[in-house]
Amino acid sequence: MGHVNNASYLKWVQDAVLSHWRKFAPEEAVTAHLWVALKHEITYRKPTFLDDEVIATVLLEKVQGARAFYATVIRRGEEVLAEVKSSWCCIDAATLRPARLATSVVERFFRPAA
């Protein structure tokens, strides 16, 4: 039918969340931590087609222990195509074990825009 499949939505969410992380986290935190998706809950609003140009907007809702909870909205222009709630586990890159982020790192994501 020309629609994208679930894998496309998940790839967009992953790319958006990791881009958000790299934008706000200090370089040493980006190097020291990896992220693993634990859960994605997708609400489809309108079909998305193979040639569509989409934008994914990300909001970090909260950080709890080693987990981060994101809301992502995927749009084609002004049309909302899908809304995604996802949870992620922060992993220490050296030990590959779950890791809590330092408060100073988490605070960078919740500062008001200047």
pLDDT at 114: 55
pLDDT at 97 over 90: yes
Separation of alpha carbons 94 and 108, rounded Å:
23
Q: What is the mean pLDDT of the chain?
A: 94
**Which domains are assigned to the chain?**
6-107 (3.10.129.10)
Q: Which residues in 56-67 are b (16+ Cβ under 10 Å) and which e?
A: bebebeebeebe
Greater confidence, 93 or 110?
A: 93
